[in-house]
Amino acid sequence: MKCTVMFLLVIFSAIFVYYGYSIHEARKYTCEIISLDIAKDQWRHPNGTIRKFEIFSQDLSKRQTEILIKVEDPGFYDHNGIDLSTPGAGLTTITQAITKKLYFDSFKPGIAKIKQSLIARFVVNELISKDDQLTLFINTMYFGNVDGKPVIGLESAAKAYYHQPVKTLKEQEYISLIAMLVAPDTFNPIDHPKWNMDRTNRINALITGEYKPKGVMDQYYGDLPQEVINAGLPPASYFGKSSVTNDFKENTPNGANAADAKSRAAD
């Protein structure tokens, strides 16, 4: 028994030291690199690649910001970097999303999620303002591929898919881009226009209040067609059939319910 206790103490001590050191290094990196990059209107991938900001959080209209937050991180302005309770939030906050982009050269789901969450909570949340977090988010997110080239950032996405800047997008065009973020390749408006349209309709129902998420993982706002699920959704993002199907059918406008979506989403 004593040997077992000692062994567990050693293990827990090693884990504590590892994550403590990770947080310490992340804080140092933030102060020495990331904060200076933000001041220069740029961000860098951990491999050293630097990209200028194409758009800032304040460039979004109030309505555009509200839509982005409502879909991607409804508790953004209230949480401390981690949110495991807000309905529809999913497992990754905006803070955690930019943590993965800025601090991990190669992120693999699993144990890395713990490190990501700790850095989001004790580093990014404490050292980077919410406005700067939003700016980083809209500049670093992946929006699928166009002509074989990855599209990085909301402004680039607006130009790649609609040939205009974010500020002149119609609301439905803007929502169709936000619809991609949960699974950019699956909801690509060029490769899968019907799937993208279906998710856009679901987001419209969310925005108007006609659909209310039933839990943290209800980030697709109802059950999805099986072919969409099979297209390769992110791990742990979808748990199959749920009790929300009937409510979604009743509350979603334009016939964008699970049964109707299946026929409309055939690619």
Instruction: State whether 206 and 221 are in the same domain.
Output: yes
Burial class of residue 4 (count of CB atoms within 10 Å of its CB; 0-12, 13-18, 19+): exposed
Identify whether residues 127 and 219 lie together within a single domain. Answer: no
Q: Are residues 147 and 207 located together in one domain of the fold?
A: yes
Structural contact between residues 112 and 121, judged by C-beta atoms closer than 8 angstroms: no
Enclosing domain of residue 108: 1-41+84-140
In single-letter form, the type of residue at position 186 comes to T
Q: Is residue 62 part of a domain?
A: no
Domain shared by 180 and 194, yes or no: yes
- Give yes or no: residues 224 and 149 share one domain: yes
Statement to judge: residues 100 and 136 lie in one domain:
yes
| Residues 91 and 112 grouped into a single domain | yes
What's the half-sphere exposure (Cβ side, CA atoms, 13 Å) at 130? Answer: 11
The residue among 114, 140, 166 that closes a domain is 140
Residues 201 and 186 both lie in one domain: yes
Assess if residue 75 is contained within a domain.
no
129 and 226 part of one domain: no
Classify residue 52: in a domain, yes or no. Answer: no
Give the C-alpha separation, 124 to 119, whole Å.
Answer: 6
Residues 190 and 108 in one domain: no
Asked whether residue 65 is assigned to any structural domain, the reply reads: no
CB 168 within 8 A of CB 226: no
> Do 112 and 194 share a domain, yes or no?
no
In this structure, are 122 and 225 located in the same domain?
A: no
Instruction: Count structural domains, the chain.
Output: 2
Q: Please say which residue of 109, 140, 171 terminates a domain.
A: 140
- Global pTM value: 0.85
Residue 64 in any domain: the answer is no
Tens-digit pLDDT string for the chain (267 aa): 777 767 677 787 888 788 899 999 999 999 999 999 999 999 999 999 999 999 999 999 999 999 999 999 999 999 999 999 999 999 999 999 999 999 999 888 778 899 999 999 999 999 999 999 999 999 999 999 999 999 999 999 999 999 999 999 999 999 999 999 999 999 999 999 999 999 999 999 999 999 999 999 999 999 888 888 887 676 556 655 443 333 333 333 333 333 333 322 322
Domain boundary among 99, 125, 140: 140
